[in-house]
Structure 1
Amino acid sequence: MIKRLALTLPTISPLGGGVSEAVRLHLSALAPASFERISVHAVDASTEKVDPAQWRAAELHLHRFFGPKSYSFAPGALISLLKANPDLVHVHGVWQFQCAAAYAWSMLTGKPYVVSPHGMLEPWIRARSPQLKGAVSKLYQNRFLRKAAGFHLLTDKEGGDVAEFVTGQPSRIIRNFAQAFASDGQPPSWMKPEYEGRKVYLFLGRIHEKKGCMELMQAWEKLSQDDADFARASLLVFCGWNDGIEGFERRAEELNRRFGNVLFAGPQYGPDKARSMASARYFLLPSKSEGLPMAVLEAWAAGVPGILTPECNLAISFERGAAFLTGFTPETIYPALKAAHALSDAEWNDASQRSKALAAEEFSEESVRNGLLDLYQAAVDWKRKTR
């Protein structure tokens, strides 16, 4: 019987992207279960943009790290795990120090941990900074993954990403979920009178090379040149923070000067994020690599259909009519944008209702809670048998 559970991750700040949001939702799902205590251990002490009320179901242990943020060496994370004395640790994300802390904790206590890679073992990710990741893998991460008592996977595809580390441990595909959408009905802070009535194509999240943002702007430019009605009636809004794309802001400003239909609104959180989502006609993610993107589920909960690549690992969205299929090249994004623009209001309303239904039926809080509890018990049983 698992009485004490620990969750460990890089950071609880929304600036950590989808992992921090997924863990926050896991905590929400697990809070009604009969745990004596749930503790959260992060290797970054940042609480920027954090709403404390969203983490009140757990004891928070946030640690100062040393050295580069990409690794976040935080020895305090191991100490706090030992003091919390959990029966099982759920490790979210790989490549950073929370993995080493959980591995050392398990070696010292003999207790099990399960791992959620969150898409970070996908080949596109592994190919980035290969020397550093190769060193981390050889130093401890490969052993950490092979000694895991279970794996939480987001997609069928992720099963292939972890196959080399699975030696009989239980693994479960447990998809993320989105909470019910609510907005106060106010316009987003970036809305201007000249934008009212336009179809808003929203990108919301980390602005990174793998997300296809520059390719999206290239396709947007060509369609705005080719179709004057599209250029007048549409607005491309980027909400997020630039994570290393040189020239992104300059490119967005250039397109806005030419067509008046591109805006970089910066990061959006809380009510601002909900207002931006409520204003959107479509949610854009022409990504080259994803685990299971939280923001898409949030968009569907708000009734916003997606324009997504297969790499978003949400094939069900195309089957259920909640998304348009695109690639991540300008040549494949262009026809997807054109098809979305051509949709009638009645057709869009149908896609919006399909999006809401998909979020409610296939990505529910109850299914996540039951799936995690089943995985945790299976991991404890597996660890006991293999001692």
Structure 2
Amino acid sequence: MIRRVALALPTISPLGGGVAEAARLHVKALSSAGFEQISVHTLDDRMDKVDPKQWEAARLYQHRFMGPISYSFAPAMVASLMQAKPDLVHVHGVWQFHVAAVHLWSMLSGKPYVVSPHGMLEPWIRARSSRLKGAVSSLYQNRFLKKAGGYHLLTEKESGDVAEFLTGQPARIIHNFAEPFSSDGAKPGWWKPEFDGRDIYLFLGRIHEKKGIMELMDAWARLSSENEQFRNGSALVFCGWNDGIEGFEAKVSALGQKFGNVLFAGPQYGPDKNRSMGTAKFFLLPSKSEGLPMAILEAWAAGKPAIMSPECNLDIGFERGAAFRTGYTADTIYPSLVAAHNLSGEDWARASENAKALVAAEFSEQSVRDGLLSLYNEAVEWKVRG
């Protein structure tokens, strides 16, 4: 019987992107499942961005780390896991030290863990910094993955990413869920008077090479040059933090000066995040690689149709009329922007309603809670049999 469950992840800060948000929602979903204790084991970095109320259902263990944040060596995490005495640990993300900490905890305690890779085992990700990831894999991560009691997968595609590590343990597809959208209707802090009456095309999240950001701006510049109505009636707004794209801010500034319709607003939290989403007409994610992006679920909950690539692994959005297909090159993004600009008011309203209906039907808190509890029990049984 599982009385205590723990979650381990590198950070719970909003700067942790979809992984941190997914873990927060898991805690929320599990809080009504009757556990004696839910604990979260993470780093103490960027806690000024964390709203403690959002994690009050769990006991937080926050650890200092040494060395580069990309690995986050935090040996005290092993001790906190032993102290919390969980019957099972749910690991969110791979490649960082929390994986080694849980692996050691499992060897010492004999208890199982389940893994949510969050898309981090797909070929595109594994090919980046391949020598370092190869060393981590050889040292312990491959053994850790093969010894997992179960896998929480976000998409059917992810089944192929973990196939080499499966040795008979359960692997279940459990979608994330989005909370109901609410906003006070006020304009976000970045709003400019000249944006009044314009269609806002919003990107909100981690600004990373894989998101198709630079290619999006190339397509936007082309359409702004060719179409005066689009140029003067639309605005491209980036909300998030730059995670290593050189030249991003300079390119935004240049396009903003040339066309007056591109803005980098920086990270948005709490009410400002909801206000930003509330102003949008379309949500953009022409990504090259994703797990299952939380930002799109949040956009759909707000009734915002997505312009997204198939690599977002949410084809159901295309099928249900909540999303419009794009690629991640400038040449494939361009026609998607043209089509969005030419969309009739009736067609946009239909897509908006489809988005809200899709989230309510397929990405609910109850379905996530039931799926996780079933996976946890199967993982314990697998560990006992093994």
Q: Normalized against structure 1, the TM-score is what?
A: 0.99
* Aligned-partner Cα distance in 2 for 1:257–1:304: 28
* Aligned-partner Cα distance in 2 for 1:256–1:111: 55
**Cα pair 1:71 1:96 within 8 Å, conserved:** yes
Residue number in structure 2 paired with 1:113 = 113
Aligned-residue sequence identity (percent) comes to 69
Residue number in structure 2 paired with 1:168 = 168
SS at the partner of 1:217? helix
Residue number in structure 1 paired with 2:373 = 373
> Alpha-carbon deviations, 1:166-221, whole Å to 9, x = none?
01000100011100000011011111111011000000001110000000000000
Q: 1:177 and 2:177 equivalent?
A: yes
> Alpha-carbon deviations, 1:289-337, whole Å to 9, x = none?
0000000000000000000000000000000011110000000000000
Q: 1:329 and 2:316 equivalent?
A: no
* Aligned-partner Cα distance in 1 for 2:48–2:132: 28
* Aligned-partner Cα distance in 2 for 1:60–1:43: 10
1:244 deviates by 0.7
* Aligned-partner Cα distance in 1 for 2:261–2:6: 46
**Cα pair 1:301 1:355 within 8 Å, conserved:** yes
Alignment of 1:258-297 (within 5 A): 258-297=258-297
Q: Unaligned stretches of 5+ in structure 1? A: none
User: Which structure 1 residue ranges, 4+ long, deviate > 3 Å from structure 2?
Assistant: 43-46
Q: Which amino acid letter does the alignment assign opposite residue 262 of structure 1? A: V
Alignment of 1:1-387 (within 5 A): 1-386=1-386
* Aligned-partner Cα distance in 2 for 1:258–1:4: 57
**Cα pair 1:10 1:44 within 8 Å, conserved:** no
**Cα pair 1:317 1:323 within 8 Å, conserved:** yes
**Cα pair 1:43 1:98 within 8 Å, conserved:** no
SS at the partner of 1:268? coil
1:34 deviates by 1.0
Q: Which amino acid letter does the alignment assign opposite residue 280 of structure 1? A: A
* Aligned-partner Cα distance in 2 for 1:278–1:72: 35
SS at the partner of 1:240? strand
Deviates more, 1:326-335 or 1:188-197: 188-197
* Aligned-partner Cα distance in 1 for 2:360–2:269: 23
Q: Which amino acid letter does the alignment assign opposite residue 256 of structure 1? A: G
1:48 deviates by 2.5
Q: Which amino acid letter does the alignment assign opposite residue 154 of structure 1? A: L
Q: Which amino acid letter does the alignment assign opposite residue 102 of structure 1? A: V
* Aligned-partner Cα distance in 2 for 1:370–1:202: 33
* Aligned-partner Cα distance in 2 for 1:319–1:280: 22
Q: Which amino acid letter does the alignment assign opposite residue 257 of structure 1? A: Q
1:226 deviates by 1.1
* Aligned-partner Cα distance in 1 for 2:46–2:286: 30
Q: Which amino acid letter does the alignment assign opposite residue 307 of structure 2? A: I
Figure out how many residues of one structure are paired with residues of the other and give that number: 386
> Alpha-carbon deviations, 1:53-77, whole Å to 9, x = none?
0000000000000111111010111
Q: Which amino acid letter does the alignment assign opposite residue 167 of structure 2? A: T
1:46 deviates by 3.3
> Alpha-carbon deviations, 1:25-81, whole Å to 9, x = none?
000000000100000000344313100000000000000001111110101110000
SS at the partner of 1:281? strand
1:281 deviates by 0.2
1:344 deviates by 1.1
Q: Which amino acid letter does the alignment assign opposite residue 161 of structure 1? A: D
Q: Which amino acid letter does the alignment assign opposite residue 47 of structure 1? A: M
SS at the partner of 2:135? helix
SS at the partner of 1:181? coil
Q: Normalized against structure 2, the TM-score is what?
A: 0.99
> Alpha-carbon deviations, 1:124-143, whole Å to 9, x = none?
00000000000000000000
* Aligned-partner Cα distance in 1 for 2:58–2:123: 34
* Aligned-partner Cα distance in 2 for 1:92–1:213: 26
SS at the partner of 1:48? helix
* Aligned-partner Cα distance in 1 for 2:340–2:359: 20
SS at the partner of 2:307? strand
Q: 1:44/1:134 Cα in 2 relative to 1: closer, same or farther (>3 Å)?
A: farther
* Aligned-partner Cα distance in 1 for 2:192–2:325: 30
**Cα pair 1:286 1:326 within 8 Å, conserved:** yes
* Aligned-partner Cα distance in 1 for 2:350–2:369: 30
Q: Which amino acid letter does the alignment assign opposite residue 74 of structure 2? A: A
1:144 deviates by 0.3
**Cα pair 1:15 1:48 within 8 Å, conserved:** no
